[in-house]
């Protein structure tokens, strides 16, 4: 019997997405991975194959971060980039029910899901405060005293990358969006239209070291001059494919892949003002970190890593930090196999000195 007829208040039944073949290929078809509460074993099966389950995120270098932060019960900390909450959960476990953890995230969609998920594990507002704000505004958080530990994971979460509707990936059709907060600011498509050819070429070089920056910028503006549009991820991918010069087939396939990765990265950094946010975060960091406080930062490309390295080394020379990483900590081979998105990760850390600013 139809439950809606006997119980009008029952939730509407939605048929799952159908797919051809033995396994689902597209994001919306992966209904088991997207419903871990109902299909608890599915995520483990996917992870065992070295893949990230759809709609989730595998935290990177957890043990190394916890070694650096040395969290003790009763302390106050900040997870500057909440994401799926994997690092957050491990830090909360170290607090053992005492102290408080603040967490910020620009994404109102995913942060709401994460807050609910952590609350279901017993981490409610008495020990966890989730704020929808840019981590660059960490000085606006008012715990009443400086933070004992801070983590900033600068990577984009898998939930955002995997969902074509967010427009973060060149591998699937979707709107060319790339905003971490889809409720504010320009989309990548709007930003691309606003840049002239020289500006786009400079952006691709500065944000991603794109070797074909001139060719791609020329192709994009050729499309616009002829009255065409670049509104979707597929539109941009095709423009990149057209722009690249002739080369052997296999070499070209790899070149297109790498250029797509770099171009999407460069646009994402620009759309979300990521370098500006990192500058502000690093500048304000000593002001909110307690004497002896520890900070760990995960970076995923050379531009970010250079900024963090420079700030920590200069801070150590100025006596702001009493210790800082001489070299970045890298994920091990086994972790990179389990989570291929860990390959480019670098962890840098610093410890606040007793110096008064």
Alpha helices of 140-232 — where are they, by DSSP H?
158-162, 188-194, 197-208, 213-225
Domain(s) of CATH 3.40.50.150: residues in the chain: 62-158+275-352
Q: What is the mean pLDDT of residues 17-40?
A: 51
pLDDT at residue 110 greater than cutoff 60:
yes
Rounded Cα distance between 115 and 142, Å, is: 19
> What pLDDT is recorded for position 100?
98
| Residue spans of beta strands (DSSP E) within the chain | 76-79, 100-105, 128-132, 147-153, 289-299, 321-324, 346-352
Chain segment 206-218, per-residue pLDDT in tens? 999 999 999 999 9
What stretch(es) of the chain map to CATH 1.10.150?
Answer: 182-271
Q: What is the predicted pLDDT for the residue at 33?
A: 45
Please list, in sequence order, all residues whose beta carbon lies within 8 angstroms of the beta carbon of residue 111, skipping any fewer than 6 positions away.
82, 103, 105, 130, 132
How confident is the model at residue 61, as a pLDDT? 95
The confidence band for 48, taking pLDDT boundaries of 50, 70 and 90, is low
Range 65-95 burial, b when 16+ CB lie within 10 A, else e: bbebbebeeebbbbbbbbbbbbbbbbbbebb
Domain 62-158+275-352 class? alpha beta
Sheet containing 100-105: give its strands across. 128-132, 100-105, 76-79, 147-153, 289-299, 346-352, 321-324
Q: What is the pLDDT of residue 35?
A: 53
Q: Which of 39-48, 51-60, 115-124, 150-159 has the lowest mean pLDDT?
A: 39-48
Out of 193-202, 217-226, 259-268, 330-339, which region has the weakest mean confidence (pLDDT)? 330-339
Label residue 1 by pLDDT band (50, 70, 90). Answer: very low
What's the mean pLDDT when you consider all of the chain?
87
d(CA 231, CA 178): 12
Average pLDDT for 296-317: 95
Under 8 Å between Cβ of 63 and 136: no
pLDDT at 114: 93
- Asked whether the predicted pLDDT for residue 248 surpasses 60, the reply is yes
- Gap between the Cα atoms of 54 and 33, Å rounded: 6
pLDDT bin (cut points 50, 70, 90) of residue 63 is very high
Is the entire prediction scored with pTM above 0.75? yes
> Once rounded to an integer, what is the mean pLDDT over residues 288-306?
95
% of the chain surpassing 70 pLDDT: 84
* 2 three-class SS: coil
For residue 298, pLDDT beyond 50: yes
- The answer for residues whose C-beta is within 8 angstroms of residue 222's C-beta and 6 or more apart is none
For 267, the token pair is 């646009």
Least confident of 155-159, 211-215, 280-284: 155-159
Lowest-confidence pick of 41-50, 205-214, 283-292, 332-341: 41-50
Counting residues of the chain whose pLDDT is more than 90, the rounded percentage is: 72
Q: For domain 182-271, which CATH number applies: 3.40.720, 1.10.3470, 3.90.1690, 1.10.150?
A: 1.10.150
């Amino acid at each position: 019997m139809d439950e809606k007829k006997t119980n009008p208040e029952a939730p509407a039944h939605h048929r799952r997405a159908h797919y051809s073949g033995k396994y689902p290929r597209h994001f919306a078809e992966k209904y088991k991975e997207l419903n871990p509460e109902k299909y608890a074993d599915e995520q483990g099966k996917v992870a065992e194959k070295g893949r990230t389950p759809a709609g989730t995120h595998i935290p990177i270098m957890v043990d190394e971060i916890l070694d650096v932060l040395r969290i003790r019960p009763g302390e106050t900390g900040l997870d500057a980039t909440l994401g799926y909450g994997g690092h957050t959960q491990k830090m909360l476990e170290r607090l053992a029910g005492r102290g408080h953890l603040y967490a910020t995230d620009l994404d109102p969609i995913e942060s709401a899901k994460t807050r609910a998920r952590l609350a279901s594990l017993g981490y409610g507002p008495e020990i966890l405060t989730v704020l929808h704000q840019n981590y660059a505004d960490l000085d606006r958080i008012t715990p009443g005293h400086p933070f004992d530990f801070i983590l900033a994971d600068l990577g984009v979460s898998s939930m955002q990358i995997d969902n074509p509707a967010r427009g973060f990936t060149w591998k699937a059709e979707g709107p060319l969006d790339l905003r971490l907060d889809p409720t504010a600011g320009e989309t990548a498509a709007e930003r691309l239209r606003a840049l002239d050819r020289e500006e786009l070429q400079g952006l691709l070089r500065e944000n991603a070291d794109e070797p074909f920056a001139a060719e791609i910028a020329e192709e994009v503006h050729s499309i616009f001059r002829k009255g065409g549009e670049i509104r979707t991820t597929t539109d941009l991918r095709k423009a990149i494919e057209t722009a690249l010069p002739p080369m052997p087939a296999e070499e070209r396939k790899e070149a297109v892949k790498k250029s797509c990765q770099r171009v999407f990265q460069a646009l994402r950094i620009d759309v979300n003002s990521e370098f500006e946010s990192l500058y502000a975060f690093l500048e304000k960091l000593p002001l909110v970190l307690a004497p002896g406080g520890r900070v760990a930062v995960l970076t995923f490309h050379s531009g970010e890593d250079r900024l963090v390295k420079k700030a920590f080394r200069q801070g150590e020379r100025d006596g702001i930090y009493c210790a800082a990483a001489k070299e970045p900590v890298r994920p091990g081979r086994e972790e990179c196999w389990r989570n291929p998105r860990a390959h480019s990760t670098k962890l840098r850390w610093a410890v606040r000195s007793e110096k008064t600013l």
